[in-house]
Amino acid sequence: MAKQYLFLILSISYLLSLELTAATAASQTGASKKAINFIQSSCKTTTYPALCVHSLSVYANDIQTSPKRLAETAIAVTLSRAQSTKLFVSRLTRMKGLKKREVEAIKDCVEEMNDTVDRLTRSVQELKLCGSAKDQDQFAYHMSNAQTWTSAALTDENTCSDGFSGRVMDGRIKNSVRARIMNVGHETSNALSLINAFAKTY
C-alpha cells in the first residue's frame, strides 16, 4: 500500500508540473509572430519538432530570432527537465516492497541522471563561452565541447532507460521512469540539433 501511495503522489506531482508548463505557455501572448515563426522553422530540423515548439515557444520573447539564444534556451530547458527527472527517480528509492532488480535499476539510473545533469550543466557553460569567443578558433573549441557534453548526456539517458527493460520490472515503475527518461532524451536530442545549427552560424 505504501509503495502504491508514494508512486501515486510522485505521478500526480509530475502531471501537475506538466500542466503548469502548459499553462505558462498558453499565457505567452506577447511573443511576436516573427519570433514564433523562427522557433517553428528552426524546430523543423530537430528529431522531435512538435516537442521542440511546445518547449521553446514560451520563451519566444527572449529568443526572438537568435540561433544563439535558441540553443542556449533549449539546453537550459533540457537541464531543468533532467534535474526534475533525477529528483523523481531518486524518490523512488524510498518505495517499500521493491524487488532487488528494481532497486538496482533505480540506483543505476540515479547515477546516470547525475552524470546527465553534470554534462548538461557543462554544455550550458560552454555555450555561454561561445558567446564571448574572441575568434573562430575559440568559438569552435567551446562549441565542440558543448556538442560533446550534450551527446554524452544523451548516452547516459539511453543507458538509464535500458536498465528498465525486461519483464521482471514492475510495469508501473518501468513505464513511469522510461516515459520521463524518454522525454529528457527527446529534449536533449532536440537541443543538440539546435546547438549544431547554431554552430553553423559563426
For residue 36, give its domain range: 2-199
- Amino acid present at 144: S
Identify how many contiguous H helices and E strands the chain contains and give both numbers.
Answer: 8, 0
The pLDDT value given to residue 16? 41
What is the model's pLDDT at position 8?
A: 44
List pLDDT tens digits, range 1-24: 444 444 444 444 444 444 444 444
Closest CA to 190 of 90, 75, 110: 75
Q: Do 61 and 39 contact (CB within 8 A), yes or no?
A: no
Instruction: Give the chain's mean pLDDT.
Output: 84
Per-residue pLDDT of 131-176, as tens digits, reads: 889 999 999 999 999 999 999 999 988 888 777 776 656 577 778 8
**Sorting pLDDT into bands at 50, 70 and 90, what band is 27?**
very low
pLDDT higher at 69 or 29:
69
Alpha-carbon distance of 12 to 102, in angstroms, equals 21
pLDDT for 118 beyond 70: yes
What's the whole-number mean pLDDT along residues 38-54?
97
Look up the CATH number of the domain holding residue 69: 1.20.140.40
Q: What is the pLDDT of residues 75-98, one digit of tens each?
A: 999 999 999 999 999 988 888 877
pTM, 2 dp:
0.81
Count of structural domains within the chain: 1
- CA pseudo-torsion sign 13, 17, 19, 23: positive
**DSSP label of 19:** H
Query: Which tens digit of pLDDT belongs to each residue from 170-182?
Result: 577 778 888 899 9
